[in-house]
Each structure stands twice: as structure tokens, then as C-alpha cells.
Chain A
Amino acid sequence: MVASLDLTLSGSWKGRGLQNIKAAEIGAEGIGKRFGSFAALDDISLTIGRGEFLTLLGPSGSGKTTFLMILAGFEPATFGRLTLDGRDVTKMPAEERAFGMVFQGYALFPHMTVEQNIAFPLKVQRRSAAEVRRRVAEMVEMVGLGGHGHKRPAGLSGGQQQRVALARALAYEPPVLLLDEPFSALDKNLRGQMQDEVRRLHRETGTTFVFVTHDQSEALALSSRVAIFDHGKLQQLASPQEVYERPANRFVAEFLGDINILPLTDVAPDAAGACGRFEGGVIRAAAGAGCVSGLLAVRPEYMRLSEAAPDGNAVCARIDEVIYLGAETRLELRTRGGIALTLSVATAALPQGLRQGAEIWAGWPEEQGFFL
């Protein structure tokens, strides 16, 4: 029911010219946060472009939420400078920044109806009664809650409550919308729907979105750029494709999904990139950067199976486990030297007769291997 509503509404909403002209650019210069002697954030510098969808991704305790709270103005930064469209806002309190916020627990006002919740920021801005009514009606429709306007939050499902929170945060066209793990309390299917919803709202409002999550697939699916945090430091800031396929370091590579890491010996750069040796065979990589470490990384989905040694990069390994996951099948392999490998193969393309204990070759294209 919800999905069909989404389709009709997104269709009717498009092209109404409600693009947010106020979308702002945020600059962070050397932002740091200390709690006593503990550095929660260390020297974060980045620029969030006008209308961008930036995701702050990292494990819990990585500093991503602290950074969001500093952006919102709820936490003061210990060091550094924050700018909004070039203006210094480092010391500006949260209520003056007035960025929209969406929280994990929805944070709706329980004593107000859906419509009153959405009207709250508009009334704070002293918009006229007629405009408040019009805008609330628009927002209720926009998030697919027509007919629920007079209910209180307690009478709504989790997904509906999060839609109210989104509508409330976007109603007054804030220059920036901050979302703090908004979907982590929702189940998987609902989460997918809400991700579609957020992507659509971003496209239609044109507001700058800053989204915090610890879920890599959510980050990759939603963002125009991903900022990866660990131990209070910014590890990499790049497009989803780039952070996934060209991670800046081993942490980023491992955090963004499964990865096979092969320690090569006798690594040397050559004309086409670099080459080295692994368990008696020669392995080549198209990019030579970082080859001094000798650690070659390959994503599981780029590895192909074959019965006999193929041309190009390949290693011989024994099958430890075959795990059927529906659309894809996961293979756990172990090389002769005892290095564990993971492969992810489309079930439809799986060779017949794979047995545990059998020996097999895993190969990959040169350009899909990169050094960490």
C-alpha cells in the first residue's frame, strides 16, 4: 500500500518548482572535539556542497555522530571553524542555524497531531496561518500520510512516524537537513522503502542532506559522497563508487564489505602498474600506487571460478564452504598457503558440481586488484 502511494505521489510532485533555493554549502576547517583527554574528533576538514547528499559513515564511536552534533550546533567544537555559505557559524547556537533534524527515535512531539508536528517549525518562523495550512497539507501529501493528519504519533507505525519526522524537518525548507541514523530502528524492508523516500525527497527539495549511518550499503545507495570516519579521523571522502573500488586504506576497504587481501612478495612497479609473486604464481595489478605494502585487495564479486588455471591473475584454492544465499552463492576458499578467500558468485552462473574439499582456480581482471 505504502509503495503504491509513493509512486503516485512522486509522480504528481515532480516539476512543481519547489527546488530549495536556500540549500547551503557547509565548510569545516580543522574541526576537533575533545572530551577530557579523549579526542572524539581530530582535525576534520571538508566541504559539503550546495544540495549535496553526504553520508557520514563509520562504526559506533568513530566520531560521525559527534561531527553531526557539531554541525547542528548541539555540541561545541573544541577546535576548528565551521562556515555556512562562507559565513563563520562556529559559535552560532543550534536554534539560529535552524537546520532540519531527523533522529533515530523520530523525536516527534507526542502531544501534537501529525499536522501540528509539521506546523511547529512554520509557526516558529511566524509564517501566516494560511501559509502554514497550505504547507502542512503539501508536506502530509508529499510523505504519503494523507488521511493521517489528525492522528497523534502514538497511533502511527514506526515507518509512518519517521515520515512525519521527515515532513516536519523539511516543511520550513531548511538550508541543510541532518539525519542521525534515522532508519536503524526499522526492519529491513521498511528501511529500503524509507531509503527510496529519502532519495526522492532529496531530489525534489534540492536541500543539502547530511546523513549519519553505520550501514555501508545504506551509505553507498543514498549518497553523492561518503565520508568514512574511524577513531575520530576522516579516513576517506569520495563518491560511493570510489570509496568502494578505490579505498584509501585497509580500514575503508574492510569496512565497506568483504574483501580478499593477498600478501604479495617481490612486488615491483612496471610499465602497466605493478607485479608480484603469490604462492609460486605471478600476479599483476593495473594500478601500482601503494604497491610497497605488497597487500593486494580484490572484492569477492570480481573473482571468477574455473576448473583449470585461466590466463591472467589466478590463485589455486580448496573449497571450504558453499553457502547458498538465494540470488548469489558465497564460497569460502583457502589457498595452498592457508590464505582465506571469499567469493560471491551469482547462483545462476555457478559451475555444476562444486564440492567441499575440491581444488579450484579463482581469477580476476588486473584492473580489479588494488594495493592497500
Chain B
Amino acid sequence: MSNATRTFVLLGPLLAFIGLTYLVPFLGVMRWSVTLPEPGLGQYQAALSDPLILSVLVRTLRICTLVTLFSVLAAYAVTLIWVRGSPAQRLAIELCILIPFWISVLTRAFGWLALLSNRGILNEWLQSLGILSEPLTLVRNEFGVIVGMTHYLIPFAVFPLASAMRNLDERALMAARGMGASRARVFRNVFVPMTAAGILGAALVVFVFALGFFVTPAILGGGRSVMVAELIYLYIFQIPNWGLAAAVSVILMVAVGVLLALLMRVMRPPVPR
């Protein structure tokens, strides 16, 4: 059996599975977007000229960008301790990463609701201490959505960062210190750039996941901070306008595709000459 045949035989089942469960349905969605209710690009025109849909798309991009920024920043600190800390610190971090991982996204969203709502634990406590007279609005808005999504997505950013930090040549850091660079400078000019690929990878994973988030924004946004996945759900199950839902889905997919292509270009290692 030649190498190419073996590759094909081994990859075949996976390709067939992806084709059947992903590509075929997606082509179906694309067809709806140009055939329902009548053939043509009318639904795209409608989607891109509807101020409601545009505002949801802009809000989705804004939330996803902020969530990516906060998740990767928080994950960088967590990973730093996980990879380079003492054994006790490592264990603590592992528990902090793994335990939320085992709890469903739904439970976690309700957990944040219990903590942050107007009559939730945090507001009650701050009011009982006399720090606040009126409760702070921490959920049913973008803030709540960002907190919930960031919390959910941090572990996904930890793993690419951890692999980048583990594969880093320790001696390069020693060399930098040996040449008189302060710890802050070694971190800024050597450590962070040497983990840049991990940072980009983590950002990509988080951003793509965040774009499709449904449960967390639905619960913590309380219908006031609708993101694109929730909008698509509304157009399919409540309004219903399948053609428009399909067009918005395709716009979302294209946005993800363009983003992936851009990041791949940035992440491509410099070609040695």
C-alpha cells in the first residue's frame, strides 16, 4: 500500500463523517439563504441593511473581542503559575481549571446569576455593609455576558499557552538574565515574544468559540444583549424566517473563515532563507 493510499484509508472515515454531518448541512443552509422564500440574494441584502441585525453583529464582534482579550490575559497569568510555579501552586491551578470544566455551561451561567443579579449574593453583601444603597446592575447586560463568557473560555486559552510555555528554551531566559536584563525585561522582551504563537493560538480558539456562544449570552444577557447565535435562533424558532437566519449564519461563517485565514498568515513561521 503506498503512502498516499494509507493516508487516505486512515483519514477516510473522518472525512466522510465531517462531510456528512458538517459540510452537507452547511451546504443546505447556504441553499436556504439563496432560495427562501424566493431565489436570489434578497436575504443577504435584507440582513446587511437591517439596523437590528447589523447592531447584533457589531455587538457580537465587540463582546467577542473583549472576551478574547480578558480570557487570554487571565489565562496567561494562570498558565504562568501553572507551568512555572511551585508544586502546591500547580495543584491549586489544576483544580481551578479542571473543576469548572466538569460543570455544564448552563449551571455556570445560573451560578453567575445567583452571584451577580440585583438581589444576588454580591449586591446583598455590598448593601448590607452599607457600601451601596442601590444594587449595581451586573447581569442582564453586556457586562454580565462578558464575565460569564470569559470565565467559561479561560481554560480553552490555558492549553495552547501552556504548550508554548513548556516548549520554551529555558537557557534563552538564563542568557538574557546573564547579560544583565532585569526580570521584567526578560519577561517583556524574551518570554512573551517567545510564547507569541501560543498567544495567537489561544486568542483564535477563544474568539471562534465566543462567536458561536448561545447559552451564556441568553441567560446573562437576559434578552437585552443579544448575540448573533441567539439572533439566528430567534429567526428560526420564533419569527420564523429561515432564509434570513441562513443568510446571517453564512455571514458568521464567512467572518470566521476570513479571520482564520488572516491569523494563519500572521502565525506562519518566518521562512528561513
Contacts of B190 in A (CB 8 A): 109
Q: How far, in whole Å, are A251 and B194 apart by their CA atoms in the complex?
A: 44
The answer to whether A169 and B179 touch across the interface, beta carbons within 8 angstroms, is yes
The answer to whether B172 and A107 touch across the interface, beta carbons within 8 angstroms, is yes
Of the stretches B12-20, B21-29, B113-121, B181-189, the one at the interface is: B181-189
Please judge, given known A-B contacts A105-B171, A109-B172, whether A98 and B272 are in contact too, CB under 8 Å.
no
Number of A-B contacts (CB under 8 A): 82
The answer to whether B178 and A72 touch across the interface, beta carbons within 8 angstroms, is yes
- Kindly state whether residue A61 has any CB partner on chain B within 8 Å: no
Contacts of B172 in A (CB 8 A): 107-110
Task: Flag A103-141 by CB within 8 Å of B: 1 or 0 each.
Answer: 101011111100000001100110000000000000000
| Closest residue of B by beta carbon distance from A69 | B174
Contacts of A108 in B (CB 8 A): 172, 175
Q: Is the interface of B mostly helix, strand, loop or mixed?
A: helix
Question: Which interface class (under 10, 10 to 19, 20 to 34, 35 or more) fits B?
Answer: 20 to 34
Number of interface residues of A (CB under 8 A): 33
The answer to whether B175 and A155 touch across the interface, beta carbons within 8 angstroms, is no
The answer to whether B181 and A124 touch across the interface, beta carbons within 8 angstroms, is yes
- Kindly state whether residue A324 has any CB partner on chain B within 8 Å: no
In whole Å, how far is A247's beta carbon from the nearest beta carbon of chain B? 33
Q: How far, in whole Å, are A361 and B183 apart by their CA atoms in the complex?
A: 66
Which of these, B179, B183, B272, contacts A155 with CB under 8 Å?
A: B272
- Kindly state whether residue A187 has any CB partner on chain B within 8 Å: no
Contacts of A110 in B (CB 8 A): 169, 172, 194
Interface residues of A in 73-101 (CB under 8 A from B): 73-74, 94-101
The answer to whether B177 and A94 touch across the interface, beta carbons within 8 angstroms, is yes
Which of these, A74, A98, A165, contacts B180 with CB under 8 Å?
A: A98
Which of these, B179, B183, B269, B272, contacts A120 with CB under 8 Å?
A: B179
In whole Å, how far is A335's beta carbon from the nearest beta carbon of chain B? 49
The answer to whether B272 and A151 touch across the interface, beta carbons within 8 angstroms, is yes
B residues apposed to A, CB below 8 Å: 169, 171-172, 174-183, 185, 189-190, 193-194, 196, 269-270, 272-273
29 contacts between A and B (CB under 8 A): A72-B178, A74-B177, A94-B178, A100-B178, A100-B179, A101-B174, A101-B175, A103-B174, A107-B169, A107-B171, A109-B172, A109-B190, A109-B194, A110-B194, A111-B193, A111-B196, A112-B193, A121-B180, A121-B181, A124-B185, A125-B180, A151-B273, A152-B270, A154-B269, A155-B270, A165-B175, A172-B179, A172-B180, A178-B178
A residues apposed to B, CB below 8 Å: 72-74, 94-101, 103, 105, 107-112, 120-121, 124-125, 151-152, 154-155, 165, 168-169, 172, 174, 178
